[in-house]
Structure 1
Amino acid sequence: MTQERVGFFTDTSVCIGCKACEVACKEWNALPEDGLSLTAMSYDNTEALGASTWRHVAFIEQPSPDGRTELPLVDGESADTGSSDMRWLMSSDVCKHCTHAACLDVCPTGALFRTEFGTVVVQEDICNGCGYCVPACPYGVIEQRPSDGRVFKCTMCYDRLGAGQEPACAKACPTDSIQFGPLDELRERAALRVDQLHEQGVGDARLYGHDPDDGVGGDGAFFLLLDEPEVYGLPPAPVVTTRDLPAMWRHAGAAALSLLGGVAACFAIAGRTAKTGGTRR
């Protein structure tokens, strides 16, 4: 990589669920709409990340322990939305642009590649629709479009990065819930934000996907969460799905050599037997 690695830090504590990031992503990347019917998940009409939804704002409803629905804001104040026995946790999800990306490992055509910014991008004109990357993703981000089988996902607005601009979703976010910049700087900023929330009494605040020593080598898009990852539909301990491939290839190679050795031994024995039998006659 010739550029400093960049990424997303999504602070869910200040997400207001406006979905401006979803709209900006679709508009900039010319993504088709993928359903407008309401679901059982509050007003979450896009439901999940997919080939036509590269940013998805999740609405998670939970019982509120104090009977009030509050949204923490940047300045430490809270927006009280009134008495309720439920609270909403909102989170704008996206492709994680993993450090150890299994999708890259399994792509047979090179359609998936690592950019100079450290992001992972699909070249749609090279994708052959094999779908190997779909089960390889530990987050379930990648999806094939039914029309032609090709996969699509967040590119972190690769074209905008090349022009020195920030991604459309971060540009459109009105509360700075989605922050874009050098990954190391974002990690430092996120750690300070967690400390700030803990001082304000938000003890459940924690970071997700920021640790370079985790199962995917750290994410290029990481999050500040207010509850367990499972609540947001995120795996608690993601692991690169191709981590065992080198060992598997070594075992397969050893097995193949053993098989070839056995076959060669059988031919040698057969040859000696035939030679011995011919002499006796």
Structure 2
Amino acid sequence: MEYPYPMTTPTTYRAAAFDLDGTLLRSDKSISDLTLHTIQQLQERGMMIIIATGRSRESLEPFRSRLDIHTPIICYSGACVMDADTDEELVHLTMPEPVCRDIVKLSREFNLPLHAYSNHKLYYEPNSVQARSYEALARSSSVMIDFDSITSLTFTKAMYIGDVPTIERVRACLEQSYPGALSKVYTYLDYFEIMHARADKRYALEFVLSRFGISQDQTLAFGDGENDLGMLAWAGHGVTMANAPQEVLRQARFIAPHNDEDGVARYLRKLLDL
């Protein structure tokens, strides 16, 4: 397969934003030596490297540490931006309590497993056993709880895990009750995330770069999921991974090889002559 590259390249890219799962990480959740070396070369050139992931702060930390990144981190798909060294919250968008209560109610009505992040902790109810498998995948510690026992219930991110037809019925209920008020995306085939309407990697990335005087045209971005679409469209050079779902690939401007084939590293090395 041929991967399209631009005919011309701006003289200076000052920042590059990377999704983790399905993009910078291989399917076994490792970072290849070539990818690590390539990121280090970009940093040596003075380029700002930004992690932009749906993961929580706790879950992304092993990768941030391995990559030796100290710039602001975009987590929860853009709902939160944090200082990498101090964990200061620069942005933190949460959903109002009535919305969160309804999300819990719908989980129970449709028997749809739910887990949710609140104040950077992962919670799930006893009937949501699938959340335990997500805990291992996301490398996040979790707490089993009755959501009704929480006095002030605000979620940074809620996620339903289940069959798509049931999830789509719940999505319709939420859209009817809160039109335009929520961000709703699939991150895996059966993982459906719900966040504040402004929780988008695109807005978070723009916020981070504005603090450093870096423009849209000076920015590279790589991703593979529905929650990457805004960021990929906004960046001066947005690159979609070959392993992305077809609905994401259909909107691609540029395509990098598969994440299990050092796709990010290979694309960057050709684009920037590393």
Question: What is the TM-score of this pair, normalised by structure 1?
Answer: 0.25
Question: What is the TM-score of this pair, normalised by structure 2?
Answer: 0.26
Q: Which has the larger radius of gyration?
A: 1
